[in-house]
């Protein structure tokens, strides 16, 4: 375990196939997150697979329309500081239908979300999956793409329960796909940033009720939506 300045805990994932594990038992890892520590699990996913998924999402190139968890089929929604939204943001949000084998993109990205969800279930003790339960709740596989040229997501927070732990998989490479831009958290001991520490294949864990934001990605570059910038995969429980 490495404790970076500012309260960031950085741990290496064990190499090899199978579930994500580190030198810290998963129960202890969940305990650190529960105390309000921000944890980055380095190298939890193999980079080549994530790059292939990102390329497939870009090649899918579906028309932009509103994300809707109640409808079938994957959707893509581009959003640039729309007036009237409660939390200002510039990103493209992809909602993947991983349950339909005929969906044009869901089955392609599913392996990464399966692995992320398995890790989240081990951390939280929850049993939620991608198929809605009796109350209609499910993990909703999403990608958020913050484009180079100022993609960002302003401060916001979520209730602690039932989600408990947020898990953000980095799907872009530091110094290659993006230079600056990170998630920041208002942790119990002060502001914590993942700047320079959340790379392709790393999973950032945080207690779900900590206020957080995504700072502008390569703010001085021209805005572009064809890949450069910062991609993340998340599995919000909705
Ligand atoms: Fe959030």
Digit-coded pLDDT (tens) for 79-118? 999 888 889 999 999 999 999 999 999 999 999 999 999 9
Reported as a pLDDT band with limits 50, 70 and 90, residue 5 is low
Provide the percentage of residues in the chain whose pLDDT is more than 70.
98
Give me the number of domains the chain comprises: 1
CA of 156 to the centre of ligand 1 (A): 6
- Reply yes or no on whether the pLDDT at 6 is more than 70: no
Please indicate whether residue 162 or residue 72 has the higher confidence score (pLDDT).
162
CA of 157 to the centre of ligand 1 (A): 6
CA of 123 to the centre of ligand 1 (A): 18
pLDDT tens digit string along 116-138? 999 999 999 999 999 999 999 99
**Model-level pTM?**
0.96
Sorted by sequence, the CB contacts under 8 Å of residue 202 that are 6+ apart come out as 40, 41, 42, 43, 44, 45, 169, 170
- Reply yes or no on whether the pLDDT at 2 is more than 80: no
For the segment 153-170, the average pLDDT, to the nearest whole number, is 97
- Its domain, for residue 193, covers 2-234
| CATH code (residue 80) | 2.60.120.620
CA of 56 to the centre of ligand 1 (A): 25
CA distances from 53 to 40, 60, 112 (A): 22, 10, 9
CA of 3 to the centre of ligand 1 (A): 24
Q: Are 211 and 178 in contact (CB under 8 A)?
A: no
């Amino acid at each position: 375990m490495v404790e970076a300045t500012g309260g960031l805990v950085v741990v290496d994932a064990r190499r090899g196939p199978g579930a994500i594990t580190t030198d810290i038992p998963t129960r202890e890892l969940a305990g650190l997150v529960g105390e309000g520590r921000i944890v980055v699990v380095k190298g939890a996913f193999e980079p080549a697979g994530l790059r292939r998924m990102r390329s497939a999402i870009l090649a899918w190139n579906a028309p932009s329309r509103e994300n809707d968890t109640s409808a079938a089929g994957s959707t893509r929604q581009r959003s640039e500081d729309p007036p009237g939204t409660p939390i200002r943001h510039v990103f493209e949000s992809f909602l993947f239908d991983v349950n339909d084998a005929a969906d044009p993109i869901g089955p392609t990205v599913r392996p990464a979300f399966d692995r992320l969800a398995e890790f989240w279930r081990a951390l939280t003790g929850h049993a939620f999956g991608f198929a809605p339960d009796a109350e209609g709740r499910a993990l909703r596989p999403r990608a958020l793409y913050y484009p180079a040229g100022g993609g960002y997501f302003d401060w916001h927070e979520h209730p602690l329960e039932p989600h408990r732990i947020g898990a953000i998989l980095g799907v872009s490479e530091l110094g290659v796909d993006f230079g600056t831009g990170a998630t920041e958290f208002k942790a119990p001991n002060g502001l914590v940033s993942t700047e320079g520490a959340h790379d392709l294949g790393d999973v950032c864990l945080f207690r779900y009720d900590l206020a957080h934001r995504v700072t502008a990605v390569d703010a001085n570059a021209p805005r572009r939506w064809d890949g450069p910038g910062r991609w993340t995969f998340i599995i919000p429980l909705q």
